[in-house]
Amino acid sequence: MKVINTIKEMQKLSDTLKAQGKKIACVPTMGYLHQGHLSLITRAKDFAEVVVTTLFVNPTQFGPNEDFERYPRNFERDCQMAESAGCDYLFAPDILEMYPIGFSCNVIIRNVTDKFEGERRPGHFDGVALIVAKLFNAVRPHASIFGQKDFQQTLVIKQMAKDLNFGIDIIIAPTMREPDGLAMSSRNTYLSKQEREDAIILFKALEEAKMAIDGGCRERKVINAIMHKTLRSVPQIKIDYASSALADNLDEPDTFLAGDRIVLLIAAYMGKTRLIDNSLVTIPKGK
Ligand code: AMP
């Protein structure tokens, strides 16, 4: 695996590979890789001969009181893990390469960013859209793989790729979980032993809501209340939101209908650590 640090070199490489008739798939990450990231690299191999993983902790997607400074970083370990998963190139620019002095651009995606993460983390999706647009322009891939773990982010990226005519296939890969159900995340490393044990309540809350839906529950408020009740069984948790919505556009009808594809979304603090998780469910017909 080769490490590339500059946009110019990355673009040149992309042109060369394309001239050789090769397809390129890109996996954007902020590093501190885990099996979830590696599953995206493996998935990328299904779509292209060449996989470029990007590694950049993007300051513009962190709020002023968020964890940009303390976000976990380990370049050597990331290199080994990415290579072991079959990554061909690691694009790892530094901050000034991505945001040189005088940088003035922003990318704002409306509507799909109005609620949930977009509402709780103002400016977050502007930063995500901006960096992904820049990474797309650096790597110029045919396809790019994103995790369902950040569900609303996948809607934002799809919207941006469509509206700005990137001509890149956006592929969504399933969430990888620890054996007890906790969604893998670089931020799990912040959790104390007790918080780590308690954190599986997010997965349990999603499962409870799914069971209720399977048992015939269709009322959005009732589904949300089931998630809240389960989460509150861990008194230390601070719920940011636990909600359900139509997966395509995040609309929130009072009642879901048979055949609706819905997303259950949770964000909650375990101590100082903010965790998110989600689950997709299709409302069964005939119950
Ligand atoms: P991050 O490094 O957290 O910005 O994540 C980089 C990419 O990996 C994003 O597309 C995430 O949605 C995805 N990702 C993060 N955690 C997981 C997971 N547990 N399973 C699958 N993909 C994940």
Q: Assess whether 34 carries a catalytic annotation.
A: no
Q: Six-digit token pair at 217?
A: 């529950």
pLDDT at 101: 98
Residue extents of the structural domains in the chain = 2-173, 186-277
Q: State the CATH class of domain 186-277.
A: alpha beta
For 127, 226, 243, 285, the CA distances from 208, given in Å and listed in that order, are: 33, 7, 13, 19
pLDDT at 286: 73
Which residues of the chain, if any, have pLDDT below 50?
none
Atom of ligand 1 lying closest to residue 39 CA: 21
pLDDT at 285: 87
Our mutation pick for probing the ligand 1 site, out of 32, 34, 40, counting the most ligand atoms within 8 A of Cβ, is 40
With a 6 Å cutoff on the Cβ, whether 127 touches ligand 1 is no
120-132: pLDDT as tens digits: 999 999 999 999 9
Atom of ligand 1 lying closest to residue 176 CA: 20
Pick the CATH number of 2-173 from 3.30.2420.10, 2.40.440.10, 1.10.1060.10, 3.40.50.620: 3.40.50.620
Atom of ligand 1 lying closest to residue 187 CA: 3
What's the rounded Cα separation, in Å, for the pair 202 and 268? Answer: 8
pLDDT at 287: 59
For the stretch 10-19, contacts whose Cβ atoms lie closer than 8 Å and that sit 24 or more positions apart, written own/partner, are 10/52, 10/89, 10/91, 10/138, 10/139, 11/137, 11/138, 11/140, 13/89, 14/52, 14/138, 14/139, 14/140, 14/141, 15/140, 17/50, 18/140
Q: Is residue 215 within a helix (H) or strand (E), and if so which, with residue range? A: none
Q: Is residue 45 within a helix (H) or strand (E), and if so which, with residue range? A: helix 35-45
Specify the residue for token string 């790892």. 92
Our mutation pick for probing the ligand 1 site, out of 149, 152, 273, counting the most ligand atoms within 8 A of Cβ, is 149
What's the rounded Cα separation, in Å, for the pair 92 and 27? Answer: 12
208-264: pLDDT as tens digits: 999 999 999 999 999 999 999 999 999 999 999 999 999 999 999 999 999 999 999
Are β-strands 2-4 and 89-91 bridged in parallel, bridged antiparallel, or unpaired?
parallel
Threshold 0.95, pTM exceeds? yes
With a 6 Å cutoff on the Cβ, whether 132 touches ligand 1 is no
Contact in structure between 209 and 248 (CB atoms under 8 Å): no
